[in-house]
């Protein structure tokens, strides 16, 4: 039996796995090296993940597993694939700390619900997270004690390039003009750039700098974690810079002298008709833009114990 993975080009295969929620699929990649294959990301730890990976990897000698970031659709089946292959798992240090903080921490769901409430999210919308998080939690089997990956290191000839923004610890791999981008660069959807508790203070600022870095890299091909391959990565990075410039302007235009919470501003930016999970993403995305505006001098934040609000500066 041989793998049915899709060939992208010499030495690069793509395995696409299903997701129960949008965008419905996640791409993982297999990179061929001198001593075997490197698997980049693992999909969600669905109940049949191990059997599925046994089929996908048939005939391939996987020597290492790189985790690009700790979101469920990337890290979720890491422990399963490690058990299956015996391969070494590599993950950024900051990313693994956040992985433990979020997925290995029974206190986390209450912590993040409190944080959403402080940002003005109605309790029904915030509390739904507890139920959903409970279901999702069983699909996340991250690998414990991974080998730390450092910026600039080489993994079988691929350079580790940090691209913080979508996740604080987001890592990409770069070689011969190919950027394995995971969720740093996507098309046609744009990567979610959200602010979360215990995360770096200015994820949008981080992301804009990562997009500039992408343009400098001048890759000929970027391979994202969702959606289509990107044959003009620098052009896509410029589009995303423009997308956030426009959204920052709309965020600024939503502010006045009257204090508004991140939730209230999100109603302006993303409309009023969102399901709870989508609303929480919208609020996190709104907050990353509000915090960038605060740093640029275009907004002011007032922190109170029960509510965080923003005004035009």
When the beta carbons of 224 and 262 are compared against Zn ion, the nearer one is 224
When the beta carbons of 92 and 225 are compared against Zn ion, the nearer one is 225
Of 80, 86, 79, 47, nearest to 143 by C-alpha is: 79
Of 57-65, 154-162, 182-190, 278-286, which part binds Zn ion (CB under 5 A)? 182-190
CB 63 within 8 A of CB 36: yes
At residue 97's C-alpha, the angle toward residues 129 and 290, to 5°, is 55
- Any contact of residue 169 with Zn ion (CB under 5 A)? no
- Any contact of residue 73 with Zn ion (CB under 5 A)? yes
- Any contact of residue 191 with Zn ion (CB under 5 A)? no
DSSP string computed for 49-68? HHHHHHHHTTT--EEEEEE-
**How far does the chain reach from its first CA to its final CA, in angstroms?**
64
Q: How far is the CB of 69 from Zn ion (least distance, A)?
A: 8
Of 48-56, 71-79, 115-123, 191-199, which part binds Zn ion (CB under 5 A)? 71-79
Element (H, E) at 112: helix 108-118
CB 38 within 8 A of CB 87: no
26-65 binders of Zn ion (CB under 5 A): none
**217: its two tokens:** 């890299």
221-250 binders of Zn ion (CB under 5 A): 225
Among residues 56, 80, 168, 183, the one that binds Zn ion under rule CB under 5 A: 183
Q: Using CB under 5 A, list all residues that contact Zn ion.
A: 73, 183, 225
């Amino acid at each position: 039996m041989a793998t049915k993975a899709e060939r992208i080009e010499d030495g690069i295969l793509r395995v696409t796995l299903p997701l129960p929620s949008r965008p419905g699929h996640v791409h993982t990649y297999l990179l061929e090296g001198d001593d075997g294959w490197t698997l980049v990301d693992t999909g969600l730890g669905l109940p049949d993940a191990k059997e599925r990976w046994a089929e996908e990897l048939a005939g391939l000698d996987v020597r290492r597993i790189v985790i690009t970031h700790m979101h469920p659709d990337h890290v979720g089946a890491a422990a399963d694939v490690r058990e299956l292959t015996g391969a070494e798992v590599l993950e950024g240090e900051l990313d693994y700390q956040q992985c433990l903080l979020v997925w290995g921490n029974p206190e986390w769901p209450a912590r993040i619900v409190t944080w959403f409430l402080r940002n003005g999210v109605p309790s029904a919308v915030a509390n739904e997270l507890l139920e959903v998080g409970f279901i999702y939690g069983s699909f996340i089997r991250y690998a414990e004690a991974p080998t730390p990956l450092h910026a600039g290191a080489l993994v079988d000839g691929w350079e580790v390039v940090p691209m913080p923004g979508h996740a604080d610890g987001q890592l990409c791999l770069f070689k011969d003009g190919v950027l394995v981008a995971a969720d740093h660069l996507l098309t046609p959807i744009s990567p979610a750039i959200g602010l979360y508790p215990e995360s770096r203070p200015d994820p949008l600022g981080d992301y804009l700098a990562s997009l500039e870095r992408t343009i400098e890299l001048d890759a000929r091909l970027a391979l994202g974690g969702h959606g289509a391959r990107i044959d003009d990565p620098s052009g896509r990075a410029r589009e995303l810079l423009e997308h956030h410039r426009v959204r920052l302007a709309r965020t600024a235009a939503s502010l006045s002298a009257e204090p508004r919470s991140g939730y209230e501003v999100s109603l302006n930016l993303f409309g009023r008709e969102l399901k709870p999970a989508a609303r929480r993403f919208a609020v996190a995305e709104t907050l990353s833009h509000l915090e960038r505006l605060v740093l640029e001098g275009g907004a002011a934040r007032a922190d109170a114990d029960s509510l965080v609000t923003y005004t035009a500066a």
